[in-house]
């Protein structure tokens, strides 16, 4: 019965996978068969519909269980005490008072964690670093006891800015040196000097972006429990298998003895990609106490030490011919990473967005005495877009050219970096559609009269937000590219139960993006079932086949094809069984709404009738994600147009509306995709206008580690957002035709808003967030 499909291919091949701008070569097994591509002319019934989120009712009733809601018998709570200074050594710890406090069960201080954990050492390298952890019956007792500990420090000089870290006499932030060993990281094509010499017009600018904090509503956290030598971890994570690997490595356990579970999580945005100090300390305390231990960051810890988007300074030079043709792009960047991090700098987008023969970027990454960076939605590209698109808009002004025309002129027909064809690229369509929807008039934006703008926006903007005398309107745009091909390895199983209900099993996770729903839709479509008959089971390393982290906008294009293949495999088996019952051959059968029909006849059977006949015969289909096409660039593209109002008396910027048009291939669920767009754009609004982690340079501590002082947009800050799609099914990327969409929307928002502000006030503000002070300084020319 459960005969596997005959392999049409076989063996292992190498394939290239791009993760957040980094390219990896992976060896993968070829899938046993490759489903027929869902091209645009294939009629689909469930994929492409705005099905409601399959877990929505859990979320609106409070039944959805997040990590902090996990309660285990006898569970204890851990609270981490953190260093108040950025650099130094711990001289002494007096925990006597803490130990005597009610509810306290265990305390771990400096030197108490195995060296392999690299936790609770004596050396302090950033403010917020874990120093000790208290385990007690309640969080409050643990926290009170932690703050009753007396820790004496020998403070040492520190560096919390790029400049301080690279100074000749700088304190040693890291023993091996303050500059990351790959620095300066140079990526170049052509000859920038020659390109600049050939330019008619050259613009230069220095663009600055802030440290931004993920600020997910659910903080990082884990619950750890041992059963003999087996460890179970409930963790709010974007990567259950990566948490498993981290925990197994650090705690020296075989992978098979670590189980990681993630059911619901309250956002990640890149900061929840592995096991953290909270995970490992909870596991150690759980071992020591013989009880389950829950350790959840409080908000201050979350804002100080759970990752951030690093700041950047980008010195940009762009040369162009009079007609706008780019001759050279150069960017020299300084990026302070924090105490740790990878080279996720702003460079990539400079090489990928425009056709330009001569491009050179040089990035220097410095370690500083602040918490380490982590990927944050569109890492590097978000920062880079502000510099590149800012300079492109400055170039358009200098050329007296429509910034949209400038972009069209330099549209890259092929991946300009590696000269590969794109799997699909509808950026020109994005430009056209966006301009039409926004009312971009084709000329230099400044040429629009105030009256025209009123007319254009009257239908879109709430009446209370119309201009008054001190207010000026402006419009601007920016474009985006982001690698979203996804790739292997990723596996799925689709089971048809005896009552014809269907389980989709995939070891991926839903961050709030909607992957549970999207995968259920893909499976229902592929197998021919009603969506309500399909349940996606995700987030458990013990019982589910491997999937990678939900990062890099990869989940839909990576796991989706595996789920589709598994569903088709299950359908094939179901059809074989049904064919004997219907006295026909499987190739005459088709399925829809959980019903099998013999083509061109009125003979039919429901899935349930077939499975009832089969009894407990288990139909189980397996699928895997095949390799990526060789020599093809797979990207999501897009453009955003912004209109703002600037109060020239106060410098206050209000974003009135954003029109976003992106090409992400096939859209599996338009409503959920629109939600992703709105979310990314709103984070972009925050990045443009409000968000900035402030570190005191004299004390080396974060000054705004709260949601009041680190401002994210509220409902009152929301512009009118129009989301449109361009392009169509991208079956050159994978057989579902879908690329990723989670990260692209945040990339062009800030530069589009900055361009609109420049248009409104007649001066560029090359530093975000565009605070009233910075805007006023630009208006008065006193920056």
Partner 1 sequence: MCRAAFKTWRTFDTSLTAELFQLMRLTVNDRVHDVAPRDDETLLELLRDRLALTGTKLTCDRGECGACTVLLDGATAYSCLTLAVSCDGATVRTVEGLAPPGSLSTLQQAFIAHDAAQCGYCTPGQLVAAQALLDHSAHPTDDEIRAAMSGNLCRCGTYPKIVQAIRAAAEAGAGVGPSAASTADGAPHGA
Which residues contact partner 1 by CB under 8 A? 50, 52-53, 55-66, 68-69, 71, 97, 100-102, 138, 140, 143-144, 147-148, 214-219, 264-267, 269, 298-299, 462, 464, 511-514, 671-672, 674-676, 678-683, 706-708, 712-716, 718, 721
Give the active site residue among 18, 525, 568, 743.
743
Nearer to partner 1, 69 or 432 (CB): 69
Cis status of the peptide bond prior to 184, with omega within 30 of 0: yes
Instruction: Please give the angle made by the CA atoms of 736, 740 and 742, to the nearest 5 degrees.
Output: 145
Decide: 29 and 14 in contact? Cβ < 8 Å.
no
Decide: 492 and 559 in contact? Cβ < 8 Å.
yes
> Counting every residue, how long is the chain?
783
CA-to-CA distance for 68 and 728, rounded, in angstroms? Answer: 41
CA-to-CA distance for 365 and 344, rounded, in angstroms? Answer: 9
User: From the CB of 337, what's the least distance to partner 1, in Å?
Assistant: 23
> What is the pattern of x (binds ligand FES, CB under 6 A) and - over residues 226-265?
----------------------------------------
CA-to-CA distance for 52 and 626, rounded, in angstroms? Answer: 29
Task: Work out whether the CA dihedral 190, 195, 196, 201 comes out positive or negative.
Answer: negative
Say which entry of partner 1, ligand FES, none residue 138 contacts (CB below 5 to 8 A, set by partner kind): partner 1
Among all chains, which residue has been given the structure tokens 């030598």?
A: 229
Does the protein bind ligand FES through residue 270 (CB under 6 A)? no
> What is the pattern of x (binds ligand FES, CB under 6 A) and - over residues 51-70?
--------------------
> What is the pattern of x (binds ligand FES, CB under 6 A) and - over residues 173-212?
----------------------------------------
Nearer to ligand FES, 1 or 715 (CB): 715
Say which entry of ligand FES, partner 1, none residue 458 contacts (CB below 5 to 8 A, set by partner kind): none
Decide: 430 and 663 in contact? Cβ < 8 Å.
yes
User: From the CB of 149, what's the least distance to partner 1, in Å?
Assistant: 11
User: From the CB of 696, what's the least distance to ligand FES, in Å?
Assistant: 25
Decide: 156 and 88 in contact? Cβ < 8 Å.
yes
Nearer to partner 1, 28 or 461 (CB): 461
Say which entry of partner 1, ligand FES, none residue 327 contacts (CB below 5 to 8 A, set by partner kind): none
Nearer to partner 1, 214 or 735 (CB): 214
User: From the CB of 76, what's the least distance to partner 1, in Å?
Assistant: 13
Nearer to partner 1, 655 or 733 (CB): 655
Which residues, 6 or more positions from 122, have their beta carbon under 8 angstroms from its beta carbon?
89, 90, 110, 111
Say which entry of ligand FES, partner 1, none residue 451 contacts (CB below 5 to 8 A, set by partner kind): none
Instruction: Please give the angle made by the CA atoms of 464, 469 and 471, to the nearest 5 degrees.
Output: 70
Say which entry of ligand FES, partner 1, none residue 585 contacts (CB below 5 to 8 A, set by partner kind): none
Nearer to partner 1, 20 or 674 (CB): 674
> What is the pattern of x (binds ligand FES, CB under 6 A) and - over residues 473-512?
---------------------------------------x
Q: Which of 726, 754, 752 is nearest to 741 (CA)?
A: 726
3-state secondary structure of 301: helix
Q: What number of helices (H) and strands (E) belong to the chain?
A: 19, 28
% helix / strand / coil in the chain, to the nearest 5? 30, 25, 45
User: From the CB of 218, what's the least distance to ligand FES, in Å?
Assistant: 8
Say which entry of ligand FES, partner 1, none residue 713 contacts (CB below 5 to 8 A, set by partner kind): partner 1
> What is the pattern of x (binds ligand FES, CB under 6 A) and - over residues 660-689?
------------------------------
Measured distance between the N- and C-terminal CA atoms of the chain, rounded to whole angstroms: 75
Nearer to partner 1, 125 or 273 (CB): 273
Decide: 556 and 563 in contact? Cβ < 8 Å.
no
Nearer to ligand FES, 707 or 763 (CB): 707
Identified binder of ligand FES from the candidate list 217, 436, 450, 703, rule CB under 6 A: 217
User: From the CB of 68, what's the least distance to partner 1, in Å?
Assistant: 7
User: From the CB of 266, what's the least distance to ligand FES, in Å?
Assistant: 6
Q: Which of 138, 299, 315 is nearest to 214 (CA)?
A: 299
CA-to-CA distance for 389 and 279, rounded, in angstroms? Answer: 40
Q: Which two tokens stand for residue 710?
A: 């680190």
Say which entry of ligand FES, partner 1, none residue 650 contacts (CB below 5 to 8 A, set by partner kind): none
Side-chain-side CA neighbours of residue 562 (13 Å): 32
CA-to-CA distance for 557 and 547, rounded, in angstroms? Answer: 12
Say which entry of ligand FES, partner 1, none residue 712 contacts (CB below 5 to 8 A, set by partner kind): partner 1
Identified binder of ligand FES from the candidate list 267, 627, 684, 769, rule CB under 6 A: 267
Say which entry of ligand FES, partner 1, none residue 670 contacts (CB below 5 to 8 A, set by partner kind): none
Indicate if 252 belongs to the active site.
no
Say which entry of ligand FES, partner 1, none residue 718 contacts (CB below 5 to 8 A, set by partner kind): partner 1
User: From the CB of 603, what's the least distance to ligand FES, in Å?
Assistant: 47
DSSP assignment of 21-35 equals TEEEEEEEEPPS--P
Decide: 409 and 324 in contact? Cβ < 8 Å.
yes
Side-chain-side CA neighbours of residue 608 (13 Å): 5
Give whole-number Cα distances, 66 to 54, 71, 219, 320, 512, in Å.
Answer: 16, 10, 10, 53, 12
> What is the pattern of x (binds ligand FES, CB under 6 A) and - over residues 512-551?
x---------------------------------------
Q: At what angle do helices 277-289 and 240-251 cross, to 10 degrees?
A: 60
Q: Which two tokens stand for residue 700?
A: 């080396």
Active site residue ranges: 743
Query: Where on the chain is the footprint of ligand FES (CB under 6 A)?
Result: 217, 266-267, 512
């Amino acid at each position: 019965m459960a005969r596997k499909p005959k392999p049409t291919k076989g063996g292992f091949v190498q394939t290239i996978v791009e993760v957040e701008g980094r390219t990896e070569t992976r060896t993968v097994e070829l899938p046993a068969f490759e489903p027929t591509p869902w091209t645009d002319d294939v009629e689909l019934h469930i994929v492409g519909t705005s099905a409601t989120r399959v877990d929505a009712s859990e979320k609106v009733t409070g039944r959805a269980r997040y990590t902090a809601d996990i309660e285990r018998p006898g569970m204890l709570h851990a609270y981490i005490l953190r260093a108040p200074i950025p650099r130094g050594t711990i001289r002494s710890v007096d925990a006597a008072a803490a130990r005597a406090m009610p509810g306290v069960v265990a305390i771990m201080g400096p030197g108490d964690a195995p060296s392999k954990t690299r936790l609770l050492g004596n050396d302090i390298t950033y403010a917020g670093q874990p120093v000790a952890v208290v385990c007690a019956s309640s969080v409050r007792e643990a926290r009170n006891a932690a703050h009753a500990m007396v820790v004496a420090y020998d403070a040492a000089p520190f560096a919390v800015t790029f400049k301080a870290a690279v100074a000749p006499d700088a304190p040693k932030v890291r023993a091996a040196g303050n500059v990351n060993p790959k620095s300066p990281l140079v990526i170049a094509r052509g000859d920038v000097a020659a390109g600049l010499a050939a330019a008619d017009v050259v613009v230069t600018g220095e663009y600055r972006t802030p440290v931004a904090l993920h600020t997910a509503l659910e903080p990082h956290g884990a619950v750890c429990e041992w059963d003999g030598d087996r460890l179970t971890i409930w963790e709010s994570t974007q990567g259950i298998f990566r948490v498993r690997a981290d925990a197994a490595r650090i705690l020296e356990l075989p992978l098979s003895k670590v189980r990681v579970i993630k059911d619901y999580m309250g956002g990640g945005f890149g900061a929840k990609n592995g096991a953290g100090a909270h995970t490992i300390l909870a596991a150690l305390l759980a071992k020591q106490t013989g009880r389950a231990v829950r350790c959840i960051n409080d908000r201050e810890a979350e804002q100080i030490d759970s990752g951030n988007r690093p700041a950047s300074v980008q010195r940009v030079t762009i040369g162009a011919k009079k007609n706008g043709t780019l001759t050279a792009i150069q960017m020299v960047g300084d990026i302070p990473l924090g105490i740790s991090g990878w080279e996720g700098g702003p460079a990539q987008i400079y090489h990928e967005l425009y056709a330009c023969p001569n491009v050179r970027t040089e990035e220097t990454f410095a370690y500083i005495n602040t918490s380490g960076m982590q990927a944050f939605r569109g890492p590097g590209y978000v920062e880079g877009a502000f510099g590149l698109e800012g300079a492109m808009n400055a170039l358009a002004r200098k050329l007296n050219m429509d910034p949209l025309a400038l972009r069209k002129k330099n549209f890259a027909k092929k991946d300009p970096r590696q000269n590969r064809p794109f799997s699909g690229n509808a950026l020109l369509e994005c430009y056209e559609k966006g301009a039409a929807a926004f009312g971009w008039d084709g000329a230099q934006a400044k040429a629009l009269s105030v009256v025209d703008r009123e007319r254009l926006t009257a239908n879109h903007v709430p009446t209370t937000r119309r201009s008054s005398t001190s207010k000026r309107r402006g419009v601007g745009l920016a474009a985006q590219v982001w690698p979203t091909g996804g790739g292997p390895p990723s596996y799925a199983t689709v089971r048809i139960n005896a009552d014809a209900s269907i389980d989709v099993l995939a070891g991926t996770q839903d961050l709030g993006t909607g992957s549970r729903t999207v995968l259920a839709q893909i499976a229902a479509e592929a197998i021919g079932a009603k969506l309500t008959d399909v349940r996606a089971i995700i987030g458990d390393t013990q019982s589910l086949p491997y999937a990678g982290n939900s990062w890099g906008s990869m989940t839909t294009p990576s796991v989706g094809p595996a789920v589709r293949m598994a569903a088709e495999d299950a359908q094939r088996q179901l059809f074989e069984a049904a064919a004997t019952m219907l006295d026909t051959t499987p190739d005459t059968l088709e399925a829809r709404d959980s019903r099998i029909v013999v083509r061109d006849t009125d003979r039919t059977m429901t899935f349930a009738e077939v499975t009832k006949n089969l009894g407990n015969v288990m139909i189980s289909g397996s699928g895997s994600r095949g390799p990526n096409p060789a020599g093809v660039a797979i990207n999501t593209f897009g453009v955003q147009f912004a209109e703002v109002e600037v109060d020239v008396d106060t410098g206050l910027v209000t974003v009135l509306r954003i029109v976003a048009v992106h090409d992400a291939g096939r859209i599996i669920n338009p409503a959920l995709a629109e939600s992703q767009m709105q979310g990314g754009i709103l984070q972009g609004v925050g990045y443009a206008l409000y968000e900035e982690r402030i570190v005191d340079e004299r004390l080396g501590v974060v000054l705004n580690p709260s949601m009041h002082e680190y401002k994210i947009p509220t409902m009152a800050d929301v512009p009118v957002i129009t989301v449109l799609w361009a392009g169509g099914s991208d079956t050159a990327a994978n057989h579902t035709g879908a690329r990723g969409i989670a990260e692209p929307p945040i990339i062009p928002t800030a530069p589009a808003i900055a361009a609109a502000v420049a248009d409104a006030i007649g001066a560029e503000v090359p530093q975000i967030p565009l605070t009233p002070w910075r805007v006023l300084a630009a208006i008065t020319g006193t920056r």
